[in-house]
Structure 1
Amino acid sequence: MTVVLFTLGGTIAMAGSAEGGVVARLVGADLVAAVPGLADLGHPIDVRDARAVPSADLTYRQILDLVDAASSAVAGGAAGVVVTQGTDTLEETVFLADLLWPHPEPLVFTGAMRNPTLAGADGPANLLAAARVAAAPAARDLGALVVGHDEVHAARWVRKTHSTSTGAFVSPNTGPLGHVVEGEVRMLTRPRRLPPVPGVEADRLDAVRVALHTVTLDEDTDLVTNLFRGRDGVVVAGFGVGHVPPALAPVLGELAERMPVVLTSRTGAGAVLRHTYGAVGSETDLQRRGLVNGGLLDPYKAKVLLRVLLAAGADRAGIAAEFARRG
């Protein structure tokens, strides 16, 4: 059985250019050739170059196409799939893929923080670890995963928390699911696998518009109101456990009468509370005004989930139920 490798560019595939700096120039064959030990995996690597773009240039439609191609690879007998891409948007693309991935075979995303022209480039080690996880029976039935720094992270919880560190990807609320130790994939915990979101079509997903707004000190409510015009849904990254300035609370309440508004925390870890604080602009007040509690989901993943649910035709009750289950 093969492990199929899809390449999407990013730092892991970059090399120097005549104009200065690094650009995506390496194809999958180059990446595989640079990894000592990959030939000893026990599974041939089937390389399929998808596109070479910075991850900031990726779209939802491209990830849907990738999931379709990965599904075909698994249907054709692949033991698992590895995806290499830039790390800038990896925490969002892997979560989108996880919401759609129906197979027990691992779908493993990885990348690099240091490009191949630098000493200590981490791309080869990450690719080797990702291939090992994709081929490992222990990694089955866990959905889409992120592998980096010899750690295995769930798509639902992983965050990029540093702009340059090779250990940038962490799961603040849970820790990693497992590690790659001496070439062996060792899973330490197995969270409950949630079913994929059905009925998501690319054209409908393209048409859905969801805004994300991070609340800041002394918020300009007029600016916030203008930002939300023409949107199908909104994610609000509030203070702490889910608070906003009192003046913003009625604005969000009026908005929630017209479209789904999801309340998350801007802190990067921890949950939005449900019934602890009672002041105007508190989590209790905002839920009373119709906002959906985002739970433990960070704002970026909440935006992905809301857009996918709207594209799938979910109503308000369905959206609230999915956030209660996945958040």
Structure 2
Amino acid sequence: MSVALFTLGGTIAMAGAVGSATGTVVNRLTGADLTAAVPGLAELGVTLDVQDVQAVPSGDLTFDQVLDVVAAASRAVAAGAVGVVVTQGTDTLEETAYLVDLVWPHPEPFVLTGAMRNPTLAGPDGPANLLAAARVAAADAARGLGALVVLGDEIHAARRVRKAHSTSTAAFTSPNVGPIGHVIEGAVRVLATPTRPAPLAVPSPTAALAGTRVALYTVALDDDGALLAGLADTHQGLVVAGFGVGHVPSALAPVLGALAGRIPVVLTSRTGAGSVLRHTYGAVGSETDLQRRGLINGGLLDPYKARVLLRLLLATGADPKAVAAGFAEHG
């Protein structure tokens, strides 16, 4: 039994810089280095088929690179792998995991993990996270759950997980649902099974993504929307992170409505948890008013995940009606 392991760099793969007097760390560890540092991995009864992809900070990852890993992971599953593990930096893990989840068509688990403390520090969490991820990837209980994020022995659904702290080893949370499972004494315990919509198509060719630019705009106090001028000429979509349940200043409402007449505009909440409402408030700039002006309700998706979904839908040629249907299903 084998699990395919793809390494993408990040804190989990960092080591001290040679000759550095500053204490900074750089990407230096290969997949073989990572697995050699994990106590108990050899006793799992699972062979890790290691493939070093590209050691880059997660902030430098692109949609194309992530979809290339998905394609390679699909080939590994077709060759007999019972699951997939990807190690990467945590900065964009919530976004890459959701992108994977949107397109992953297999029942085999696709598990993403990383680390908050690099190997030069006391108590690095990378080895434990990698061990837990491998356990989940090989577990029958994780089949059919799509992309999962595993850190700190917690199992999170990619659709709901967020990085909620900049440095804590407990940085990853799922505010609306909590973790769907845990690794307890080496056993994978799935306590809740998330509903997964049918996977979306991968843009073909993936180069279509290059011509699909989606902006993310966070609304702030006394916001007049001046920064949005000309956006429809340079972008194919916009995600708005509004106040609370999906509100904006009244002066901003007609600006967003005009944009929604030209490109898809998705309404989300900047709060980080909870849903955008649909028909509770009726003032100018409320969720009801904005939807009347053509904005698409983002549901429970946070702004970052909404941007991933919108860009993927647009890159596959979805028209405004199909975009709205996509958010109704996935939001």
Instruction: State TM-score, norm by structure 1.
Output: 0.99
* 1:208 counterpart = 2:212: yes
Name the % identity.
Answer: 72
Secondary structure in 2 matching 1:108: strand
1:224 is displaced (CA, Å) by 2.3
Distance 2:227 2:237 in 1: 17
Which amino acid in structure 2 is aligned with residue 6 of structure 1? F
* Selected match of 1:284 from 288, 297, 303: 288
* Selected match of 1:59 from 54, 59, 62: 62
Query: Conserved in 2, the CA contact under 8 Å of 1:211 and 1:228?
Result: no
Query: Conserved in 2, the CA contact under 8 Å of 1:82 and 1:131?
Result: yes
Match of 1:6 in 2: 6
* Residue ranges of structure 2 left out of the alignment (5+ in a row): none
Aligned pairs for 1:298-317 (under 5 A) are 298-317=302-321
Distance 1:137 1:317 in 2: 38
Q: Which moved more, 1:98-107 or 1:15-24?
A: 15-24
Match of 2:16 in 1: 16
Query: Conserved in 2, the CA contact under 8 Å of 1:3 and 1:78?
Result: yes
Aligned pairs for 1:1-327 (under 5 A) are 1-17=1-17, 18-19=19-20, 20=22, 21-201=24-204, 202-327=206-331
1:226 is displaced (CA, Å) by 4.0
Distance 1:317 1:56 in 2: 32
Instruction: State TM-score, norm by structure 2.
Output: 0.97
Q: Over residues 282-309 of structure 1, what are the superposed CA-to-partner deviations in whole Å (9 max), with x where a residue is unaligned? A: 0000000000000000000000000000
Distance 1:280 1:144 in 2: 39
Which amino acid in structure 2 is aligned with residue 172 of structure 1? P
> What is the number of equivalent residue pairs in this alignment?
327
Distance 2:213 2:26 in 1: 31
Distance 1:206 1:70 in 2: 22
Which amino acid in structure 2 is aligned with residue 16 of structure 1? G
1:228 is displaced (CA, Å) by 4.9
Query: Conserved in 1, the CA contact under 8 Å of 2:260 and 2:293?
Result: yes
Q: Over residues 173-192 of structure 1, what are the superposed CA-to-partner deviations in whole Å (9 max), with x where a residue is unaligned? A: 01111000000000001112
Secondary structure in 2 matching 1:46: strand
Query: Conserved in 2, the CA contact under 8 Å of 1:60 and 1:206?
Result: no
Which amino acid in structure 1 is aligned with residue 39 of structure 2? P
Query: Conserved in 1, the CA contact under 8 Å of 2:232 and 2:263?
Result: no
1:225 is displaced (CA, Å) by 2.1
What is the alpha-carbon root mean square deviation over aligned residues? 0.9
Q: Over residues 117-153 of structure 1, what are the superposed CA-to-partner deviations in whole Å (9 max), with x where a residue is unaligned? A: 0011000000000000000000000001100010000
Distance 1:199 1:158 in 2: 22
Distance 2:44 2:5 in 1: 14
Which amino acid in structure 1 is aligned with residue 4 of structure 2? V
Distance 2:214 2:72 in 1: 26
Distance 1:290 1:270 in 2: 22
> Structure 1 residues 45, 199: CA separation in 2 closer, same or farther (over 3 Å shift)?
closer
> Structure 1 residues 321, 287: CA separation in 2 closer, same or farther (over 3 Å shift)?
same
Secondary structure in 2 matching 1:153: strand
1:229 is displaced (CA, Å) by 3.7
Distance 1:225 1:218 in 2: 17
Distance 1:88 1:59 in 2: 13
Secondary structure in 1 matching 2:99: helix
Which amino acid in structure 1 is aligned with residue 199 of structure 2? P
